[in-house]
Chain A
Amino acid sequence: MKASDKDFDQLFNSKLGDMEVEPSANVWNNIANELDGKKEKGGLPFMKIAAGIVLLMAVGLFFIRPEHQIIALHPAFKATGDSQGSRVIAPIQPSVDYTESPVIAETKPSVKHRQSGTTVSHAESVVAKSIDTAQSESRYIAAVNQKADNQTIDQVHTIQAQSTGLVPDNIGRTAITKSTNVLTTKNANPVIASLNATKPEPTKKHKIHSLGDLLNVVIAKVDKREDKLIEFTNTSDDDSFNVTGVNLGLLKAKKDK
């Protein structure tokens, strides 16, 4: 029996063992395609997990990184502010533009008044209005400098006096612009402190609140790529220093969704 079984098996083996069949041409193409797309086909759950881990690591790195940068940037920023005046002025200029624009807006209606009414008397009114605008502007700056000390408000008052003194000599707008320049340059430090509230200027008290903002700013500068920005805005929405750990978890959950 066993011998016959062997012979029987051998019959099949000899006939079919070395059988060759030419495959159709598309088989290789399918193989090549599958090799190209194997990541999508083969390991979807695995790739998701891997991507999640990578994301977590990236997020973790970026949470660690800005803290170091705060320490590094903070003294550097102060050093430039104290030693070099030119660099301080450079960031102010946008603030000058900012203060100028309402001034122009206010002077323009005054011009309209002059056109509609008599000419001579309104020249004074323009000056008067320009003074008003100068005052209002200085008030505005003072309002901006809410957080600034009483000293700065005193400075503003003195500058008011100067600006009002300047106004009669020149025509309204130039005088105002000059006065604004004076204001801004003299108030340089408080203005920076107030207007750069959005920029990284971390005081130790505000560390908890500004951390989210700081992260946003830093990430916006460092990474303009897709995912990381969104994640950090999410974390900043959630705020608070302690919650960051939980935010990582939330991020992970969001990523999974």
Chain B
Amino acid sequence: MFLEHKYTIEELIEGCRKGQRKMQELLYKLLASKMLGVCMRYATDRMEAEDMLQNGFVKVFKKLDDFRGEGSFEGWVRRIMVHSSIEYYRKNHKMMQVVDIETAGEEQSVDPVAASNLGVQDLLAIIAQLPPGYKMVFNMYAIEGYSHKEIGEIMGISEGASKSQLSRARGILKEQIYKMEGKKYESVG
């Protein structure tokens, strides 16, 4: 679990609170790859994700005193990464697109078994194609497990808007998966 077995996570946190650069680096190395995984889901590409990661970790070290030890530290850092990612979009994409995308009248039914054949990179690519607003909501709800109320607060939208964006996001994703699977079957067959 620990990158360097000399320190426990509590010791690392304590060292970081004292502003010890070495401890900060160790804590970063402990969590960086996981947190970049989080940011990747919110970003359109890896560069953007690393920017989000950087901003997030700076925030982690600055706000470390706010961590009261309620829940896991990793969960706390993860939440900061999510916030950092959304903030990044606010700054760099100004208006988060909440443009209605014409979804197909019929929802595509996706075969869960077939969909599970899709690799991580495929799923990541599909999510990356989502309009930013949809992507945020879907990530937060489906993967982070936030409630619509929480999402609404973080994104500055209503609970209902969060719900509708989620369902639209699902619709787009299913469509994309259906297309992918179709292609796969085509290529196989």
Contact = CB atoms under 8 A, between A and B. Distances in A.
B143 A35 contact: no
Size bracket, chain B contacts: 35 or more
Contact of B110 (A8, A15, A28): A8
Interface string A1-41: 00011011101110111111111100110111011001000
B112 A38 contact: no
Given A23-B33, A31-B58, A11 B116 contact: yes
Nearest to B142: A9
Contact of B112 (A11, A15, A18, A23): A11
Given A9-B141, A28-B28, A21 B33 contact: yes
Interface in B34-63: 34, 36-38, 40-41, 46, 49-50, 53-54, 57-58, 61-62
Nearest to B141: A9
Given A19-B124, A32-B25, A8 B174 contact: yes
Given A28-B32, A32-B25, A35-B58, A19 B40 contact: yes
B54 A21 contact: no
B62 A38 contact: yes
Size bracket, chain A contacts: 20 to 34
Given A11-B112, A27-B53, A16 B58 contact: no
Mostly helix, strand, loop or mixed at chain A's interface?
helix
Contacts of B50: 23-24, 27
A171 to B, nearest CB: 76
A11 B58 contact: no
A65 to B, nearest CB: 35
A12 B127 contact: yes
A29 to B, nearest CB: 10
B157 interface: no
B164 to A, nearest CB: 14
Contacts of B54: 27, 30-31, 34
A225 B102 CA distance: 68
B21 interface: yes
B24 interface: yes
B115 interface: yes
Interface of B: 21, 24-25, 28-29, 32-34, 36-38, 40-41, 46, 49-50, 53-54, 57-58, 61-62, 109-110, 112, 115-116, 118-120, 123-124, 127, 138, 141-143, 145, 170, 173-174
Given A8-B170, A17-B143, A30-B54, 17 more contacts: A5-B170, A8-B142, A8-B173, A9-B141, A11-B112, A11-B116, A12-B127, A16-B41, A19-B37, A19-B120, A19-B124, A21-B33, A21-B40, A21-B49, A24-B50, A34-B54, A35-B24
27 contacts: A4-B109, A5-B170, A8-B170, A9-B142, A11-B123, A13-B145, A15-B118, A16-B37, A16-B120, A16-B127, A18-B34, A19-B37, A19-B40, A19-B120, A20-B34, A22-B32, A23-B32, A23-B36, A23-B53, A27-B32, A28-B29, A30-B54, A31-B54, A32-B25, A34-B58, A35-B62, A38-B58
